[in-house]
Structure 1
Amino acid sequence: MTGTLKAIMAQTICCPCGTPIDCDHVELVITATCPRCDRELPLELDHSFGARRAMLTIMEGPHWVGEQFIMPVGAALSIGRASGNWLCLDAADIADTHCRLTLAASGAVIVEDLNSPAGTWIGPQRIVRGHLAPTGSLRVGPFRFRFDIQTPEGRIVAPDGRDQSDSELSLPTMASVKRKNSPAQWAARNRFILARWIILTLASIGGADFTLHLRARPPAPWNWNKALIAGALVWLITSFAGRHVTLIHNYLKYASLGLTVALALVGLSFGAGAFATASLCAAAGLVVLIMREPQPWLAFGGALIGAFGLIVLTRDLTQLIRIISSGG
C-alpha cells in the first residue's frame, strides 16, 4: 500500500513573503512566480529518482488541519503570527517570527528557532537549530507538522526512492506525548512559559495592588492621579520584564530577574508588603525557571513559589478593594 497523504484541503504554494500563489494543476508546476514580489520559486528537488517535492502538512492544530504546503527550494521560510511570514499562524504560544526553515535542493531541511518563548520542537526535542528528516514531526505552538518528500501526484517516498507504507508514517500525537509527562516534567519543559506567565500576572495584579496601596496608604494617602501613574509604571516595568524572559537572550532574562528584585525593594520602601513578597517569590521562581537544564522537581517548585506569591498578592488586593470601597 502506498502512503498517499489524504489532505482535507488542496496543496498550497506560498511565497516566502507570505503571498499565496494560485495555480491550476499544481502537480504540473515546476517553478512558480510570486505575483507580489515577482520572485521565482523552484518547487522540485534535485533527485535521481524523478520528480520530488518537499511538503509540510499540518497534522494537528486549532485550524488548517490537513493543509499541505509545498516548500520552495533554497528559500528561507519563516513561520509566525505576524503577516509577511511564509506561514502566518495566529495561535497562542506562537511568536511573531517563531522559526525559520531552509530547504536545500537535496531535500535537507534546516530548522532554526528564532528566540521564541515557547520554543520549536523536532519530535520530542526542543531545538535551537536542527535537521528535519523526511516524515519527521515539527511542532510550533499548538501546531504539529509533518515533513515529507512526495511525488507531484502526492505519493510519499523514502530518501531511497521507494514508496512508504502507512505504518512507516505513523507519528505519536501531541496528546499522547503530553499524557506521558508528570507535572514536574511538564514544568521543566515549559519553564519559560511559566516564567513569563508569573511575571505578566504579577504585572497585572501588582500594578492594581500598588495603586490601591498608595491610595489607601496611611497617614497620607496619594491622590488617584499620582497613584494611577505609579501603578502604571509598575505595570510597564513588570510587563517589560515578563516579555523578555526567553531561552536565548541571557542578558535579557537576567535583566528581567534584576527588575523583579528591584520592584520588591520599591514595594518595601513604600510599605507594600504583599507586593514586595510577591515580587520576591517571582524572583525566586525565576532563578530556578531560567536555569539552563533544571531538574523537573526543581522547576515545579519554582513555579509553585511564584504562584504562592501571586496568591498572597491577590488576597492583599482583595482587602484593599474592601477598605477603599468602605471608605476606610
Structure 2
Amino acid sequence: MSRPPVPREVHVRAPGKINLALAVGRATRDGYHPLATVFQAVSLIEEVTATAAERFSLTVDGLHADRVPTDDSNLALRAARRLAEHVGIDDGVHLHVRKGVPVAGGMAGGSADAAAALLACDTLWRTGLAREELSELAATLGADVPFALLGHTAVGRGRGDLLTPALSRGEYHWTLALQDHGLSTPEVFRTFDDVVGGVGDPVPDRALLQALGSGDPDAVGAALSNDLQPAALELAPHLAETLAVAEDAGALGVVVSGSGPTVAALARSRQHAVAIAAAITAAGVADGVLTASGPVPGARVVVGERAGVPHVGDRG
C-alpha cells in the first residue's frame, strides 16, 4: 500500500484561554510563583499555517497583528525551531499566523500560536510525537503552552503547566473587554509581590470545580477569582470601571483574565453576552469588545479547510 503524499502545508487552530480562578503563591528563590489555576479554552482562535520551506520565517495578520514580532523572539517560531532541534531534522518552515486572540491581554494568544506551531510542524515533518511528548516540549516554551494543546477545562498547578483535565458541564458565554495597552506579566507579578504577597502553597478553588461539574453558571460566576487582579488594578486603575459596568449589565461574574488587562464577564446566554458587550461599548470603558463561548478543544489539525476562513469565535 502506498503512503499518502507528504503534505506541503498544514493548518492548525488553537484556542485562547480564560483563567476562571487563579491562586498565586509566594515567589520562590528562583523567582517563579507557584500557581493553582482553572483554565477554560474559549472560541477565540489562533490559526497557524505551516508550509514546507528551506528556512524558518513567519508572517502575521488578524487581530492586533501589528503588535506581534516576526523575528526569532516570536513564540511560534521558537516552537518550530525547538521541535526541529528535538527530533534532529534540518528542515525549515514558513509559519503564517492569523490572530483571533488579543495580544498582551492575559489570554495566552502567543502560547496558542506556539502550541499550534508544534502540532503543525509535527504533522508537516511527520515526526510522529505523541501528545504527551509534545506537551513536555510545550512546557519548555511557556507555562500556558501545554494547556493550548489540551484545551477544554483543566486545573493547572506548578507554573500552570502541570495539567489535570476538569469535569465541566454545559456551555459558558463570555464578554471580553479589551484594552489597547497591554500589561507586562512580569510587572504584574512584581506588583503582586508588593501589594499582596501570596501564600505558600495555593490550591485549586473547590467551589468553582464543583460548580463546573454540576453545570451551574450562577455558581461559576460567583466563584470567579484572580489573585493578580489587585495588582492589575494597581497598574491600570481604569479597569475597575470596566468591571463595574459589566456587573451593572447583569454579568454572573466578572474577573480580570490572567495578568490582564482583558476583563472577562460571564453571561447567562449568547444574547446576554452581546448585551453586556453593548453596555461596555456604550460606557466607553474598553477599546474593543469580543464575545466567545467555552469550553472548546485544544490545538487540532484542520482538514479540508484553509486557515483564515471564519471560525467559531463570536465577535461582539
Q: When the two structures are superposed, what TM-score results if normalisation uses the length of structure 2?
A: 0.30
More helix by share: 1
Greater RCO, CA 8 A, separation 6+: 2
TM-score, length-scaled by structure 1: 0.29
More strand by share: 2
